[in-house]
Amino acid sequence: MNIKETEEVLHCTGCGAKLIYNFATHANKCEYCGNAYKIKAGKKPVSAGSKTSNAGCIPFKRDITEVKSKLLHWIIEGDQTPTDILSADFELEKAYFPLWYFEGKYKGHFNALNKKGKVDGADQPLSGAFSIYAYGGKAEEDGSVISNFVTSIDKSLIVPFDDVETDGVTLNKIADRNSCWNTYGNLSVANSVYVQLSNQYGKDSSLFKHYLTYELEAANAFYLPCWSLSCMYGDTFYDVYMDDISGKIIGERPVEQYMEPPLRAAIFKKYALVGLGLWFGMLIVRAFLAAVVGGHFNPYDNYYNNILFSEGAGLYWLLRGALFLLVLPAVMAIIFYPNMVNKFYRKRKETRIKDLDLILTGRKPEVF
- Give SS3 for 18: strand
* Top mean-pLDDT range of 11-15, 166-170, 192-196: 192-196
Range name among 136-145, 199-208, 338-347 with the lowest pLDDT average:
136-145
What is the pLDDT averaged over residues 24-40?
Answer: 53
- What is the mean predicted confidence (pLDDT) over 45-59? 52
Q: Read out DSSP for 243-269?
A: ETTT--EEE-----TT--PPPHHHHHH
Check residue 40 and give its pLDDT: 36
pLDDT score for 39:
42
On whether the CB atoms of residues 222 and 137 are closer than 8 A, the answer is: no
Q: Which pLDDT band holds residue 17 (cuts at 50, 70, 90)? A: low
Share of the chain above pLDDT 90, in %: 45
Give tens-digit pLDDT for 87-126. Answer: 999 999 999 999 999 999 999 999 999 888 888 878 999 9
Q: Compute CA distances 216 → 6, 75, 130, whole Å.
A: 6, 41, 9
Q: Where do runs of H (alpha helix) occur along the chain?
A: 64-76, 140-149, 177-180, 186-201, 264-292, 315-322, 328-335, 337-360
The pLDDT assigned to 32 comes to 62
**Alpha-helix residue ranges (DSSP H) falling in 154-259:** 177-180, 186-201
Predicted pLDDT of residue 350: 95
pTM of this prediction?
0.66
pLDDT at 81: 94
Tens digit of each residue's pLDDT (9 = 90 or more) over 199-252 = 999 999 999 999 999 999 999 999 999 999 999 998 888 999 999 999 999 999
Average pLDDT over residues 11-38: 56
Rg, C-alpha atoms of the chain: 34
pLDDT confidence of residue 31: 58
Residues 313-330 have a mean pLDDT of 88
The model's pLDDT over 144-160, given as tens digits with 9 standing for 90+, comes to 788 788 777 888 899 98
The answer for 266, left when phi > 0, alpha when psi is -120 to 50, beta otherwise, is alpha
Predicted confidence band of residue 292 (pLDDT cuts 50, 70, 90):
confident
Per-residue model confidence (pLDDT) at position 206: 92
Residue type present at position 168: G
The per-residue pLDDT for 5 is 35
Cα–Cα distance, 97 to 145 (Å, whole number): 11
Segment (H or E) for 241: strand 236-243
**Average per-residue pLDDT for the chain:** 82
Interior/surface letters 333-343, b for 16+ CB within 10 angstroms, e for the rest = beeebeebbee
Using CA atoms, how far apart are residues 195 and 192, in angstroms rounded to an integer? Answer: 5
